[in-house]
Structure 1
Amino acid sequence: MFSKVLIANRGEIACRVIRTCRRLGIRTVAVYSEADADAQHVRQADEAYPIGGPRPADSYLRGDAILDVAIRSGAQAIHPGYGFLSENADFADAVESAGIAFIGPKAASMRKMGSKAGAKDLMAAAGVPVVPGYTGEDQSPDVLSREAARIGFPLMIKAAHGGGGKGMRIVHGLDEFLPQLESCQREAANAFGRDRVLLERYVQSPRHIEIQVFGDAHGHAIHLNERECSAQRRYQKVLEESPSPFLTPAMREAMGDAAVQAAHAIDYVNAGTVEFIVDPAGAFYFMEINTRLQVEHPVTELTTGLDLVEWQLRIAAGDELPLQQQQVPQHGHAIEVRLYAEDPEAGFLPGSGKLETLLLPAPSAHVRIDSGVVEGDAVSIFYDPMIAKLIVWDQTRAMALARLREALAHCEIVGPKSNIGFLEQLVRHPAIVDASIDTGYLDRHLDEFMPPAGIDPDLLVAAATATLLMQESDARAQAADSTDPGSPWAIADGWRLGHAGGRLLAFLHRGEALAVGAHGANGDYRIEAPHAVAVIQGARMADGLLSLRMDAQARRFQVRADPRKVMVHDGERRLELVPVPAYLPQTAASAGNDGRIIAPMPGRVVVVKAQPGETVVAGQELLVMEAMKMELAIRSPRDGIVAELRAVAGDFVDADAVLATLEPLP
């Protein structure tokens, strides 16, 4: 076994590897960019070295800098995590050439998977089921049209190189094939530098099921069961679980055997994932092999009781696989979701900034948290905005879903916006509960998964009640600490001669101000909220739980309240409000109404397309921003004249920064 390992990654995967190494008595070396100088993986590692600027190209993608640190620190092996250089065959070769172990597959195995067309041909030759299609080198329009007619419609045109959803088109008939082919080839050439495509039969309403495989350097390969990842948005996985609720025992055995065949076909060593697409009838077809550990590996660990990172380390050190196929355990059901700094209501725009509050459920036998940040850390604009992975386990799928709902209810993030509300809707949706979701369902029905636009009156009343109790508690505490604790001026009930005290509470909800009237004190109130009037009796708050009688009906809410934010949760829904002074104007100014064009997220200005004095029309692109692996066009909200530009290409800007101003047309 190694005595010192360098981790060529960051975030939660780096922290995950550090935990396993610490348990095994292995010293760890971290590398970090300028943006990650205070990151958790830097703090947790035994040693840490800077390797460059904040952008990945200037740091985590610099194989030479990482190798230099490995040599200087005396590391015997490099764990690449996932992302960055984890599937870079040239880096794997360079590591081995330096006499350091690469904790992953051999470069030759990676290269065999580098081309979708080549990989598909290789798998077909090995007897692994592949989607019927055409992978030939003859790319003439006539040949491709003839092959499309042979395959049948609908079919998919896919770029032979690259990924991420680029260079893909679904074609429903021969009459639209050539225009779609030309479009796909142009996009592939722009994105990957090569316009070669392959054709595949389009599997309608498919499910995405992947098999975790492991191989060793002694010629052995096994699988560690499957994970289902059919809940996806724009080809990105949203919920992962094991075992798949769709597979029968016979299908599970057949897919496992095919995955092991695929591993043997490329002489695979270490951890990998064979991904399959499965049609509604249960026929499955090879998609690709991810030649690394996957983000969703914890669901496999929780259902097998195995530490996959430990397996990676032992196999890279030359050990044989610890188990044979028939010895691989499987017990219970595990589900994973990812908490992101993003705004689902604004098209899932990524966010960033300081995590002023980060509350996550306590780890237990049923709940696991994998995270690379803690409260007080910042989510950077330079990397993926994932805050944490939330993984739950229980004996059955229904019980695991219940655990997940409960765990999400205990999550709260103050600072950047998050997808918690979206995930709470997701895990209660019938398509998830009934396990009927396919890979396109979320994109087709995204509105069904969004948090309700309106405010639930009961939640608003509960939030107002919690705020009143908090104010009264604070007033009593201040009075107790004063020189006259019995003073009537310290009583916070707003008492007036001849009637119950009246108070005005004000909150912000999604930028809009809410005014709530309240009468009464000491847990008995009359709450007058927009669209709701309620009589509250016996309200008490203890250990984060608010119990009360609302119009004579007993209710209980989970509450977290402080001067910055009030959150109430009734077990199914949540409401988050920002307390503000009662004199705040009743509506917040909306972006663009005053002629300002503001940044919707922090990031870097990539392109400026407008000039001062230029006449623009509504919807015209003015600037393009980049943050967290995505680009966003900033468009004019109305017709007008560009009065001022306050950013140039290359500038880093904060969210809500003014990028430009518009004047009305004469």
Structure 2
Amino acid sequence: MSNENYLANPLIHTDRKLGASNSQWVQSFDCTHMRPLIICRGPIRKEAMDVFDEMGIHNYGILLSEKDSITYQNALAPELRKLTDPSRIHRVPDYSGADKSERAQRIQQIINIAHTNGYNAIFAGYGFMSEDAEMVEAMENAGLNFMGPCSYTQRSAGMKDSAKRTALATGVSVTPGVNNATSQALFAKYGKSDKDLEKCAKSNKLEVDFSACNDDEEKALVLLAASYAAGIDIIDATDIGLALQIEAKRMLTEKPNNRFRLKAIAGGGGKGQRILQSANSYEGATLEDKVEKAAACVPSLVVECLIELKTNGVGDNKNVLIEMNIDTTRHQEIQVIGNGDWCMTMGGRDCSLQMHEQKLLEVSVTEEELNEA
């Protein structure tokens, strides 16, 4: 079947060279000076290449992993058929690294590729790699323009636990659940008093200052942040799994007909998530028996979430959320853009048709539908 209708569709493809506009204001958004390095893969990479070309940005480059170029050597990606200049294709072992150490190496490798080849911007796509505050901060410090939210925004809203804390602090409702499993694990392992936390810091040679903390939770976050910065584990995945198992038992008892969702705080694109089945889906003489069976798999599910996002290494933030899984809701996404002084929405889309947490279809929604929702 011909793809001519797709290629000629003005709703998809158009001349995006803003420098040619009659409006001086529109001309100010001209991007032809940019030389982006595309570090994502798959269809998003191809879409980015098409849009960059339409914007008059032709000197972009892409990363190519060993998996793409060797493992799937007979399945040449469409973008490789289009980009025939080998000097703009940069080979890396993989896109993100297997653990914290490898991620740091990959980030530095990407920075070196950008500097060596004259790229001045980084495009990481959507979700997963684009939601890595450490990577974004490294790009910023290297003088590269990251095409997406800055590292400050990433830390405030990119990590799922920070995003929920930010939402709650501003009076925005969130999905019911627990977002402080790491704090709970810390308290269970070391105690909750100032003396206990100071002892933990001292024994692990961590410099912490609790003077600005308003409560135990903030003290735990300060101590945990110090451990991440030092690259050590004061709690591990086992501790977090046990803490979440306790919370899961409580939640399963309160709502035995509900399923719950475990989510690692980093990444996107549906990665690092697992479903915890309802208590009543298990057999048992009593509700307590059913809850025990349902909650028994929580520690292993936590490890699965972390491994899938490659955040199970020493010094990684291993926080995992547990939330009520709302089966009947619709997945609406709203695009928001701003600069700190103003913000505006750029429309919405319904992404409810999914399989294995991946979007299969996105449908633009009207303003009337958004108002009704």
Q: TM-score per shorter chain, which class?
A: 0.5 to 0.7
Query: How far off is 1:118 after superposition?
Result: 3.5
For 2:336, what is the secondary structure of its paired residue?
Answer: strand
Residue aligning to 2:28: none
Any residues of structure 2 matched to 1:89-238 within 5 Å, and which?
Answer: 89-113=133-157, 115-136=159-180, 137-138=183-184, 139=243, 144-150=248-254, 153-161=257-265, 164=271, 166-173=273-280, 174-175=287-288, 176-192=290-306, 193=312, 198-215=321-338, 217-238=339-360
User: Hey, which of these two has a bigger chunk of helix by percent?
Assistant: 2
Query: How far off is 1:241 after superposition?
Result: 0.9
Partners in 1 of 2:361 and 2:156 — Cα distance?
29
User: Hey, which of these two has a bigger chunk of strand by percent?
Assistant: 1
Q: CA RMSD in A?
A: 3.6
Query: How far off is 1:101 after superposition?
Result: 0.7
Task: Say if 2:155 and 2:162, in contact at 8 Å, map to a contact too.
Answer: no
For 1:94, what is the secondary structure of its paired residue?
Answer: helix
User: Where in structure 1 are there 5+ consecutive unaligned residues?
Assistant: 255-281, 283-666
Cα distance 1:186–1:239, how it changes in 2: closer, same or farther (>3 A)?
Answer: same
Number of equivalent positions: 250
For 1:253, what is the secondary structure of its paired residue?
Answer: helix
Residue aligning to 2:91: 52
Letter in 2 for 1:41: E
Cα deviation digits, residues 575-602 of structure 1 (max 9, x gap): xxxxxxxxxxxxxxxxxxxxxxxxxxxx
Task: Say if 2:272 and 2:304, in contact at 8 Å, map to a contact too.
Answer: no
Partners in 1 of 2:330 and 2:151 — Cα distance?
30
Partners in 2 of 1:69 and 1:24 — Cα distance?
23
For 1:28, what is the secondary structure of its paired residue?
Answer: coil
For 1:219, what is the secondary structure of its paired residue?
Answer: coil
Cα distance 1:188–1:156, how it changes in 2: closer, same or farther (>3 A)?
Answer: same
Cα deviation digits, residues 321-349 of structure 1 (max 9, x gap): xxxxxxxxxxxxxxxxxxxxxxxxxxxxx
Letter in 2 for 1:209: Q
Cα deviation digits, residues 452-501 of structure 1 (max 9, x gap): xxxxxxxxxxxxxxxxxxxxxxxxxxxxxxxxxxxxxxxxxxxxxxxxxx
For 1:223, what is the secondary structure of its paired residue?
Answer: strand
For 2:331, what is the secondary structure of its paired residue?
Answer: strand
Cα distance 1:63–1:208, how it changes in 2: closer, same or farther (>3 A)?
Answer: same
For 2:291, what is the secondary structure of its paired residue?
Answer: helix
Letter in 1 for 2:168: A
For 2:334, what is the secondary structure of its paired residue?
Answer: strand
Partners in 2 of 1:93 and 1:126 — Cα distance?
25
Task: Say if 2:279 and 2:293, in contact at 8 Å, map to a contact too.
Answer: no
Any residues of structure 2 matched to 1:223-622 within 5 Å, and which?
Answer: 223-243=345-365, 249=368, 252-253=370-371
Cα distance 1:27–1:45, how it changes in 2: closer, same or farther (>3 A)?
Answer: farther
Partners in 1 of 2:116 and 2:320 — Cα distance?
44
For 2:347, what is the secondary structure of its paired residue?
Answer: strand
User: Where in structure 2 are there 5+ consecutive unaligned residues?
Assistant: 1-30, 185-242, 281-286, 307-311
Letter in 1 for 2:303: A
Letter in 1 for 2:260: M
Cα distance 1:121–1:206, how it changes in 2: closer, same or farther (>3 A)?
Answer: same
Cα distance 1:178–1:222, how it changes in 2: closer, same or farther (>3 A)?
Answer: farther
Query: How far off is 1:183 after superposition?
Result: 0.5
Letter in 2 for 1:183: C
Query: How far off is 1:233 after superposition?
Result: 1.9
Cα distance 1:32–1:184, how it changes in 2: closer, same or farther (>3 A)?
Answer: same
Cα deviation digits, residues 351-375 of structure 1 (max 9, x gap): xxxxxxxxxxxxxxxxxxxxxxxxx
Cα distance 1:152–1:116, how it changes in 2: closer, same or farther (>3 A)?
Answer: farther
Task: Say if 2:38 and 2:63, in contact at 8 Å, map to a contact too.
Answer: no
For 1:86, what is the secondary structure of its paired residue?
Answer: helix
Letter in 1 for 2:275: M
Query: How far off is 1:13 after superposition?
Result: 2.7
Residue aligning to 1:14: 45
For 1:222, what is the secondary structure of its paired residue?
Answer: strand
Query: How far off is 1:169 after superposition?
Result: 0.4
Residue aligning to 1:30: 61
Partners in 1 of 2:348 and 2:330 — Cα distance?
13
Letter in 2 for 1:253: N
Letter in 1 for 2:139: V
Partners in 1 of 2:326 and 2:136 — Cα distance?
35
Letter in 2 for 1:207: R
For 2:171, what is the secondary structure of its paired residue?
Answer: coil
Residue aligning to 2:237: none
Residue aligning to 1:529: none
Partners in 1 of 2:97 and 2:159 — Cα distance?
27
For 1:20, what is the secondary structure of its paired residue?
Answer: helix
Partners in 2 of 1:225 and 1:116 — Cα distance?
23
Query: How far off is 1:232 after superposition?
Result: 1.8
Cα distance 1:178–1:122, how it changes in 2: closer, same or farther (>3 A)?
Answer: farther
Query: How far off is 1:96 after superposition?
Result: 0.9
1:41 aligns with 2:79: yes
Query: How far off is 1:71 after superposition?
Result: 0.8
Residue aligning to 2:4: none
Partners in 1 of 2:345 and 2:53 — Cα distance?
26
Task: Say if 1:214 and 1:221, in contact at 8 Å, map to a contact too.
Answer: yes
Partners in 2 of 1:147 and 1:83 — Cα distance?
29
Partners in 2 of 1:118 and 1:218 — Cα distance?
18
Cα distance 1:3–1:113, how it changes in 2: closer, same or farther (>3 A)?
Answer: closer
Cα distance 1:144–1:236, how it changes in 2: closer, same or farther (>3 A)?
Answer: closer
Cα distance 1:150–1:160, how it changes in 2: closer, same or farther (>3 A)?
Answer: farther
Cα deviation digits, residues 193-226 of structure 1 (max 9, x gap): 38765443342422222212222x3422222222
For 1:27, what is the secondary structure of its paired residue?
Answer: coil
Partners in 1 of 2:356 and 2:45 — Cα distance?
26
For 1:121, what is the secondary structure of its paired residue?
Answer: helix
Cα distance 1:54–1:179, how it changes in 2: closer, same or farther (>3 A)?
Answer: same
Query: How far off is 1:112 after superposition?
Result: 3.1
For 1:85, what is the secondary structure of its paired residue?
Answer: helix
Q: Flag the structure with larger Rg.
A: 1
Partners in 1 of 2:87 and 2:43 — Cα distance?
16
Cα distance 1:235–1:20, how it changes in 2: closer, same or farther (>3 A)?
Answer: closer
Task: Say if 1:165 and 1:235, in contact at 8 Å, map to a contact too.
Answer: no
Task: Say if 2:35 and 2:60, in contact at 8 Å, map to a contact too.
Answer: yes
Cα deviation digits, residues 5-46 of structure 1 (max 9, x gap): 222234443333333333333332213436459755354387
Residue aligning to 1:82: 126
Flag the structure with more relative contact order, 1 or 2, with Cα contacts below 8 A and sequence separation at least 6.
Answer: 2
Letter in 2 for 1:66: I
